[in-house]
Chain A
Amino acid sequence: DVKVTQSSRYLVKRTGEKVFLECVQDMDHENMFWYRQDPGLGLRLIYFSYDVKMKEKGDIPEGYSVSREKKERFSLILESASTNQTSMYLCASSFGGSSQPYTDTQYFGPGTRLTVL
């Protein structure tokens, strides 16, 4: 059974702080994703990683960076948090090894609800 965990369920930070959100998967998946979920906007991809140290920008990468030093761990970094980054952040992973990396089933973590004051 695939397990994707995120470091916090709820997080409150102040404007300008550096914020780290961590995601860990235990199924040796190649691909990992970070999304943000906002009411009425659905799921929007921030960044995608298909291998250690490899990353691709998604639709809304501005204000975010990522780090993948180990296969099982994918971190989302807000260099200087702003109030418009208040959101639910969802991590996901998928098996990988496909010529079309997005077409593998994605398994989501429980989400981190971040509030920036």
Chain B
Amino acid sequence: GENVEQHPSTLSVQEGDSAVIKCTYSDSASNYFPWYKQELGKRPQLIIDIRSNVGEKKDQRIAVTLNKTAKHFSLHITETQPEDSAVYFCAAIGYSTLTFGKGTMLLVSP
């Protein structure tokens, strides 16, 4: 089945810095890659997603890039703010597989 590796497991940045979280997947049939944010004590919520026919997608301070050849995708957060502190999960999804990464705890210090 699908295997999704997510790195780093913890990321600490200063407010205003950029943060990058990387994921790799194993199943070349995967064609949908969402990112979820889970604040402490709250439910995961979709923040951005990308499909395999697109190489990059941006939404304000958040962007996701996809390299299908290398089977990796990344979440980029610019101008980080304390409210960006949360656990971020990537996922790789095909028709019959649904696999999440183990999560990255992002800590943004004021």
Q: Is B95 touching A90 in the complex (CB atoms < 8 A)?
A: no
Chain B residues within 8 Å of A41, by CB = 102
Interface residues of A, count at CB 8 A: 21
Q: Are the C-beta atoms of A43 and B100 separated by less than 8 Å?
A: yes
User: How far, in whole Å, are A106 and B98 apart by their CA atoms in the complex?
Assistant: 12
Task: Judge if A74 is at the interface, Cβ distance under 8 Å.
Answer: no
CB pair A42 B89 closer than 8 Å: yes
How big is the B interface, by class? 20 to 34
CB < 8 Å: which of B42, B95, B98, B101 contacts A45? Answer: B98
Cross-chain contact B32 with A103 (CB below 8 angstroms): yes
Within 8 A of B (CB), among A84-117: 90, 99-100, 102-103, 105-106, 108-111
Q: Tell me if A63 counts as interface (CB < 8 A to partner B).
A: no
Closest B-chain residue to A105, C-beta based? B46
Q: Return the contact of A108 from the options B43, B91, B102, B103 (Cβ within 8 A).
A: B43
Q: Are A109 and B43 in contact, with the CB atoms below 8 A?
A: yes
B45 close to A108 (CB less than 8 A)? yes
Known: A40-B9, A103-B32. 17 other contacts (CB 8 A): A4-B43, A42-B89, A42-B102, A45-B98, A58-B98, A90-B44, A99-B95, A100-B31, A100-B32, A102-B32, A102-B95, A102-B98, A105-B34, A105-B46, A108-B43, A109-B43, A110-B42
Interface residues of B (CB under 8 A from A): 1, 6, 9, 31-32, 34, 42-46, 49, 51, 89, 91, 93-95, 97-103
A-to-B contact residues, CB < 8 Å? 4, 40-45, 48, 58-59, 90, 99-100, 102-103, 105-106, 108-111
